[in-house]
A and B are shown apart, each in its own frame.
Chain A
Amino acid sequence: MTLAARLPPLFVLAVMLHTAVLPQFRVAGVAPDLLLLLGIAAGIAAGPDRGAIVGFTAGLLADCFLQTPFGLSALTYSLVGYAVGMFQTTILHAALWIPVTTAVVASALGVVLFAVTGAVVGQAHLLSNRLVTVVLVVSLVNGLLFLFVARPVRWATTADLAPGLVLR
């Protein structure tokens, strides 16, 4: 099965979970950001280019349901996916805690980048005291969710890569 056949069902399932299920389970009023995690997991599994593409697509899907400027999530998620992919190519992958910690830190950076970029384009209200709570909850819960998301994302994003090129 090719990349083009594997990615769409992954996005459809992620959007359904992100918009309909996960908002029901909030910690301190904050829901995890599955679509941001998709780009991060893709960067970890398949490198910077695919991390950026998956992050961009997931961000565009997220923008469909937000009132913030369309493209803001796409911009930030793709940058995070790319950065994670660049970082992952330079470190060892033997231990599980490394990608989990990467997902936690990248999620925190993704939320901050979204808020800062949003403020630059006129959404000043994104930079408030609440940002600290959002960063903490999203990063920690995303770190937990990464354990469940990593495998399907690796399956979808490394379909056409030679086994030696897949980051495990």
Chain B
Amino acid sequence: MILLVLTSVTVITLDFRGPGGVIGAVRSGAADVLSPVRGAADTVFGPVSDAFSGITGYGALEDENDVLWRRIEELEGDRLRAEDAEAELKALLRVNRLDRFTDLPSVSARVVGSPISNFEQTIQLDRGSDHGIGEDMPVVTGTGLIGRVVDVSGTRSIVRLITDPSSSVGVRLSRSGVLGVLEGVGPDRLLDLGLVDLETDVRERELLVTSGVDDSFFPGGIPVGRVRRATSTEGELQQDIAVAPVVDLGRLRFVKVIQTGSP
């Protein structure tokens, strides 16, 4: 028993010495070997899993359906209004020779695995370094940011979602331009926006986008979340702000990995 404990502690210490090496190779190899099995199991058990979820949450699904229909009508109106603004923005960016994240090269990938651990919020993609994906690249859907790549092998990659408790994203409030740090606190829970002082006017449903400041993993301007509530407590130095992700992270099927830098 003592030998096993010592071995475990040694392995943990080796892992702390840095990424890559033997341990990195073991992890990548194991994930590559299991990747086809996980993909096949997802195909076989996906419908069963969906039925399981449907049975346990039928009432919530009906309510959600009503909400979604209302949202479609609202979004159609927004889309029409946004077309004109989009054209103006493109022209301005072109004049100033600036890039938007939508203009950066990207790789499309399919989500083939849900989180294995009960403590981590990660997903597995069916594309890896063979397809130009590297560590720390941002991952988005058509709606906004979902996370960043934290581990890559030849044929698959692991993405840490923004809801993971160890995730933090530098963001900017769209109205005031104030910067803050958005941190995950676990699945099915609102994100926590920190470092916003008490004087800043923060409104409900205000959009947060990535700040794109130097040393950030994420290019600027990617939608991340909307403010759900903001409260100020006397004596505190910052506001308590809860944020809902713009992307439904429980229903990811296809995503894009933005190729910032080379893998």
Contact = CB atoms under 8 A, between A and B. Distances in A.
Interface of A: 15-16, 18-21, 23-25, 29-31, 33, 48-49, 52-53, 56, 59-61, 63-72, 74-75, 78-79, 82, 111, 114-115, 118, 121, 123, 125-126, 128-130, 134, 137-138
A75 B5 CA distance: 6
A19 B34 contact: yes
Contacts of B42: 20, 24
Interface in B179-236: 185-189
A65 B5 contact: no
B158 interface: yes
Nearest to B8: A75
B67 interface: no
Contacts of A66: 116-117, 120
Contacts of A123: 166
Give chain B's interface secondary structure class.
helix
Interface stretch (B46-54, B98-106, B237-245, B254-262): B46-54
A20 B49 CA distance: 12
A134 B46 contact: no
Interface of B: 1, 4-5, 7-12, 14-16, 23, 26-27, 30-31, 34, 37-38, 40-42, 45-46, 48-49, 52, 113-120, 122, 150-151, 158, 160, 164-166, 185-189
A120 B11 CA distance: 15
A59 B184 CA distance: 26
B4 A56 contact: yes
A82 B1 contact: yes
Nearest to A130: B186
Contacts of A68: 117, 119-120
B31 A64 contact: yes
B93 to A, nearest CB: 36
Given A20-B41, A65-B116, A128-B185, A78 B16 contact: no
Given A20-B38, A23-B115, A29 B187 contact: yes
Given A29-B188, A65-B34, A66-B116, A78 B15 contact: no
Contacts of B7: 56, 71, 74
B12 A70 contact: yes
Given A20-B37, A20-B41, A78-B5, A67 B11 contact: no
Contacts, number: 136
A93 B4 CA distance: 28
A67 B118 contact: no
A64 B185 CA distance: 24
Residue among B10, B185, B186, B188 with the most chain A CB within 10 A? B186
A122 B115 CA distance: 21
B259 to A, nearest CB: 22
A16 B4 contact: no
B150 A67 contact: yes
Given A20-B42, A121-B12, A53 B4 contact: yes
Contacts of A70: 11-12, 14-15, 23, 26-27
16 contacts: A20-B34, A24-B48, A24-B114, A30-B118, A60-B11, A61-B30, A65-B116, A66-B117, A67-B117, A70-B11, A70-B27, A72-B12, A75-B8, A82-B1, A128-B165, A128-B185
